[in-house]
């Protein structure tokens, strides 16, 4: 920050000039501009898809679990011990374990893409603030 009296360059956090001891006016902090949820929503800054993916994950996991349990506990597999029902039980166990794991990984991958978007928006916002602060301090 330059002293308006002697034009000496001082630290940004200084309250007075290091040479002439001229007191600096306190820096005014601009308040963040608040936008409503709807304004953010229609400007596509507020994403609803990550929350929707979480709901879809829960519903899908319930269906996968039910399908696995049904294939394990169906009356045909409980009454007979032939090759078919045994394979059906093993298939049900695989659906319970691997199916839910793969479904979770797919949903996490989709959420990861949206998290990257949110992080990039955050970096962009911070960069704009730093540029504004640099322009204000350079004047």
Please give the Cα distance from 68 to 74 (Å, whole number). Answer: 10
Which of these, 85, 90, 51, 92, lies nearest to 69 by C-alpha position? 92
Q: List the one residue out of 72, 102, 101 whose CA is nearest residue 87.
A: 72
Q: What are the tens digits of pLDDT across the range 59-109?
A: 999 999 999 998 888 766 555 555 566 677 788 889 999 999 999 999 999
For residue range 10-67, list pLDDT tens digits in order. 777 777 877 787 787 765 545 455 567 677 777 776 777 888 999 999 999 999 999 9
């Amino acid at each position: 920050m330059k002293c308006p009296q002697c034009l000496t360059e001082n630290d940004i956090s200084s309250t007075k000039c290091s040479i002439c001891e001229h007191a600096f006016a306190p820096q005014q902090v601009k308040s963040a501009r608040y936008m409503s949820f709807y304004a953010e929503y229609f400007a596509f800054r507020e994403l609803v898809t990550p929350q929707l993916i979480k709901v879809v994950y829960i519903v899908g996991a319930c269906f996968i679990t039910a399908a696995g349990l049904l294939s394990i506990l169906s009356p045909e597999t409980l009454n007979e011990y032939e090759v078919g029902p045994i394979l059906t039980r093993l298939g049900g166990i695989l659906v319970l374990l691997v199916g839910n794991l793969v479904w979770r990984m797919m949903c996490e991958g989709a959420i990861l893409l949206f998290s990257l978007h949110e992080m990039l928006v955050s970096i962009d916002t911070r960069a704009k603030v730093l540029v504004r602060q640099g322009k204000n301090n350079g004047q």
